[in-house]
Structure 1
Amino acid sequence: MKQKYEFKNVVAETLLIPLYMRAKESRRKGDAILKDTMAEQLVDSIEYDYSQFDGAKMSEVGCVVRGKYFDDAIRHFILSHSHPVVVNVGCGLDTRYQRIGNDQVAVFYELDLPEVIDLRRKLIPETGEDHYIAASLLETGWMDALKKQHPEGQFIFVVEGVLMYFYEEQVKTVLKHIAERFSGGELWFDVCGKMMVKSGAKPDSLRKSAAEIRSGISDGHEVESWVPALELIEQACYQKFFTERWGTVMRLFARFPRFSCKFSSLLGYRIK
């Protein structure tokens, strides 16, 4: 039986976009970018008008490209570290723990606002080495608690589909707080570019949403000037991955990555 949930926060409600896109992709025959059977089950259990996202062709591909990109970054980190701790910041209803599979190798944490964690606990009960934290990414208490709980831990943080909803000064503060506590770890996140912010444009999946895009980063090296402890591993444009799935115009973006990054990109940093 489907359940209807009311969201108090318009940004919190955006968690349904990547969930629906992953479920839709998972049902795709033959060339699916990722498989996510739990996302399929969750979409079927939540009463919501998902049809409003069906015309968002760029987000439809972008959400799953982004999900796989970060999945792969985490897989690589787990394989290359002896005590990996994975922290999904602004987790929403992400099912990365279930997609990656763990076998007790890594400890996972899912962090989001209390409203979202309450919903997550109803729909995806905590299991195995996947633990939930109800807090804001702007707070630091949860960071200190994790550091204390895992003194030998090697941390990778993924902040997916979140930072563009915060102002630049808030983004700088979050990155600084993580970097000063978790040296030797990694930090991965996606951003909108400055051109998108200046133009007032939104990703196509947000055009009917009241959620605002409040900050953008076009050059990943800019973050290194904000937080010297962060060293850029990679800045990637979405269109370089699964090129055949993008439309003709977007495929052209892949040939001009610096221009593409003015609109959006995927970023990874090593914490020195």
Structure 2
Amino acid sequence: MAERVDLRGSEQTMLITLFLRERDARSAHPVLGDRFAAEVLARVDHDPGALRWFSSDTVTISARARRLDDWAREFLAEHPDGQVLHLGCGLDSRPLRLDRPPGARWIDVDLPRVADLRRRVYDLPDDVEVVGASVADPSWWERVDTDRPTLAVAEGLLMYLPPTDVDGVLDQLLTRCASGVLAFDAVSPWVLPVSNAAFGVTSVDTRFAWGYDRDALVARHPRLRGRDDVCVTDLGARATAGPWHLVYRGFDAVPYLRDALRLHRYAF
């Protein structure tokens, strides 16, 4: 029997992501190929009709996850004794998709009811710690090793947080951790009102709250050193052929559309 799920606000988006990854995995040419998505989606009570509204995002969301997986693999190869902070992990199977060196540490963090659901629907290995807390709650950061190289991954998270919470999360990371990498996706400021209006005609009760401004981010957090700035529609174009390839290349030709959703990697 499927799990009964009580999700609110931005938590509902993790079902969208899971639905799109399941859709990608059963396609003829998967981009991410998340072999866990179908089993987990089948165990969670959801409305497929409502989720199909977001089907056109299948390739970009899967390509986004694949690039973040690649960055995580690269980090763990360089730092087999490092730690990964999987912020706002939702129902993402990332720690199962990646090979983790025996000396590495992995911490999944999400709200308590999401963390509880995650423990029920995934058979996570003992070396994956699941913390039930808001990422903006300073208390859970006491669990973090200050002397390990640290990768903080935030996928589909920061745009839903108030700007003060985004700064608070980064303050904790940069104050407590001696060195590492921050990898996240972000929307441009102009996307906030447009996407929030679109969310208003769906059953998803959530809104974007934070838009990425590179200069403001680095001025507020001067320890950050830019490494990568990747257009998600370019990733989509590279992952597809035929009509969708042309659609994504069309998006890339328009600066506002090209910059709507991007992936960023910073070192510190």
TM-score in terms of structure 2 length: 0.89
Query: How far has the Cα of 1:86 moved from its partner?
Result: 1.0
CA offsets 1:94-144 (integer angstroms, 9 cap, x no match): 100111132525221100011111111111144132111111111222223
Which of 83, 87, 90 aligns to 1:89? It is 87
- The match for 2:216 is 222
- The match for 2:153 is 158
- The match for 2:233 is 239
Contact 1:56/1:204 (<8 A) preserved: no
Contact 2:252/2:258 (<8 A) preserved: no
- The match for 2:164 is 169
Distance (Å, rounded) in 2 between the aligned partners of 1:251 and 1:202: 25
Distance (Å, rounded) in 1 between the aligned partners of 2:18 and 2:218: 31
Structure 2 unaligned residues grouped into runs of 5+:
none
Structure 1 unaligned residues grouped into runs of 5+:
none
- The answer to whether structure 1 residue 266 and structure 2 residue 263 are counterparts is yes
Aligned residues: 264
Distance 1:200 1:101, change over 3 A: closer
Over the aligned positions, Cα root-mean-square deviation in angstroms equals 2.3
- The match for 2:3 is 3
Secondary structure at 1:194's aligned position in 2?
coil
Which of 114, 132, 135 aligns to 1:134? It is 132
Distance (Å, rounded) in 2 between the aligned partners of 1:92 and 1:206: 23
- The match for 1:191 is 186
Distance (Å, rounded) in 2 between the aligned partners of 1:42 and 1:223: 36
Amino acid at match of 1:157: A
Distance (Å, rounded) in 2 between the aligned partners of 1:206 and 1:263: 20
Query: How far has the Cα of 1:19 moved from its partner?
Result: 1.1
Contact 1:17/1:205 (<8 A) preserved: no
Distance 1:206 1:107, change over 3 A: farther
Contact 1:202/1:213 (<8 A) preserved: no
CA offsets 1:182-221 (integer angstroms, 9 cap, x no match): 131111111121111244546779843120111111x434
Distance (Å, rounded) in 2 between the aligned partners of 1:242 and 1:262: 13
- The answer to whether structure 1 residue 17 and structure 2 residue 16 are counterparts is yes
Identical amino acids, percent of aligned pairs: 24
- The match for 1:114 is 112
Q: Residues 14-53 of structure 1: matches in 2 within 5 Å?
A: 14-29=13-28, 31-53=29-51
Amino acid at match of 1:229: R
Contact 1:193/1:261 (<8 A) preserved: no
Contact 2:2/2:45 (<8 A) preserved: yes
Which of 118, 143, 146 aligns to 1:145? It is 143
Contact 1:90/1:137 (<8 A) preserved: yes
- The match for 2:78 is 80
- The match for 1:123 is 121
